[in-house]
């Protein structure tokens, strides 16, 4: 099994690259999707409400992720402390699910004799300690003006973008990684330009197997 990790700031294009790798045959493990599933678990909701209050629940009894995000993403020490609490609740469960998925794919590959390609789409992948689990890394480099414009197109306010940047900066830069393990993809240009680079990366893993 070959494990590929994606590293880059929010808005840099990790989801786009992950989708293309999935189209080419990789299995994608999306940590954000897993986190949403974890937050829907009854015991997790109870623990979140214990720490953050019933105001984070909607009328349907489900956690309001936007309300929760406003509590944990911000520029103050209070926001930082709240994010730490939420991560202690959610991250161990997410890590357990990811490890379970990796073990399943590893076993499936051994049973079939195929070298599965697995993509880890995990925010702050290096900072979260997943670097050693990856055989190679794709570093997404995006012009800051382009990245900010993409976040604006998502409807994010200036304050929301500043809050996410502050959360990133508190964890940056992360542990060092050997440069020989990293492939850089420039995501500042057109979609076609980004996909061309991803295809070249995949071709190096699978010579002659790109779609016609």
Mean pLDDT across 38-58: 94
User: Does any domain span residue 208?
Assistant: no
User: Does any domain span residue 119?
Assistant: yes
pLDDT at 175: 82
Mean pLDDT across 175-190: 89
User: 5 is written with which tokens?
Assistant: 């990790």
Kindly provide the residue ranges of all beta strands, DSSP E only, lying in 1-111, ordered along the sequence.
2-7, 27-30
User: Does any domain span residue 176?
Assistant: yes
Higher-pLDDT residue of 210, 1? 1
Alpha-carbon torsion 119, 14, 154, 89, what sign? Answer: positive
Residue 65 DSSP SS3? helix
Mean pLDDT across 18-37: 96
pLDDT at 39: 93
pLDDT at 211: 46
User: Does any domain span residue 211?
Assistant: no
User: Does any domain span residue 198?
Assistant: yes
Higher-pLDDT residue of 113, 4? 4
Q: Between vectors from CA 97 to CA 95 and to CA 100, what angle results, nearest 5°? A: 110
| Whole-number Å distance between alpha carbons of 202 and 190 | 19
User: Does any domain span residue 210?
Assistant: no
Domain range enclosing 8: 2-203
User: Does any domain span residue 209?
Assistant: no
pLDDT at 60: 87
Domains contained in the chain, number: 1
- pLDDT for 210 beyond 50: no
- pLDDT for 171 beyond 90: no
**Taking a C-beta distance cutoff of 8 angstroms, is the pair 8, 140 a contact?**
yes
pLDDT at 179: 78
The model's pLDDT over 65-107, given as tens digits with 9 standing for 90+, comes to: 989 999 999 889 999 999 999 999 999 999 999 999 999 999 9
User: Does any domain span residue 175?
Assistant: yes
The model's pLDDT over 172-182, given as tens digits with 9 standing for 90+, comes to: 777 888 778 99
pLDDT at 207: 61
Mean pLDDT across 23-40: 95
- pLDDT for 112 beyond 70: yes
| CATH number for position 141 | 3.40.50.300
pTM above threshold 0.95: no
Alpha-carbon torsion 20, 22, 15, 77, what sign? Answer: negative
Helices (H), 24-76: 31-39, 42-52, 65-72
For the chain, give the mean pLDDT. Answer: 91
Alpha-carbon torsion 130, 131, 132, 136, what sign? Answer: positive
Query: Number of C-alpha atoms within 13 angstroms, CB side, residue 67?
Result: 13
């Amino acid at each position: 099994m070959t494990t590929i990790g994606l590293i880059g700031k929010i808005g840099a294009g990790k989801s786009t690259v992950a989708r293309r790798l999935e189209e080419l045959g990789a299995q994608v493990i999306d940590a954000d999707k897993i986190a949403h599933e974890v937050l829907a678990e009854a015991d997790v909701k109870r623990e979140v409400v214990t720490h953050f209050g019933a105001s984070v629940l909607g009328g349907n009894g489900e956690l309001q992720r936007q309300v929760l995000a406003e509590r944990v993403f911000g520029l103050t020490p209070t926001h930082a402390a709240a994010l730490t609490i939420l991560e202690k609740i959610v991250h161990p469960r997410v890590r357990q699910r990811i490890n379970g998925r990796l073990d399943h794919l590893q076993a499936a590959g051994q049973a079939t004799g195929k070298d599965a390609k697995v993509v880890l789409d995990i925010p702050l992948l290096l900072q979260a300690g997943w670097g050693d689990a990856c055989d190679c890394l794709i570093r997404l480099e995006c012009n800051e003006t382009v990245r900010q414009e993409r976040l604006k197109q998502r409807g994010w306010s200036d304050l929301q973008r500043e809050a996410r940047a502050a959360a990133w900066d508190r964890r940056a830069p992360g542990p060092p990684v050997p440069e020989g393990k990293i492939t850089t993809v420039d995501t500042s240009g057109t979609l076609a330009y980004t996909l061309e680079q991803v295809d070249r990366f995949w071709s190096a893993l699978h010579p002659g197997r790109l779609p016609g």
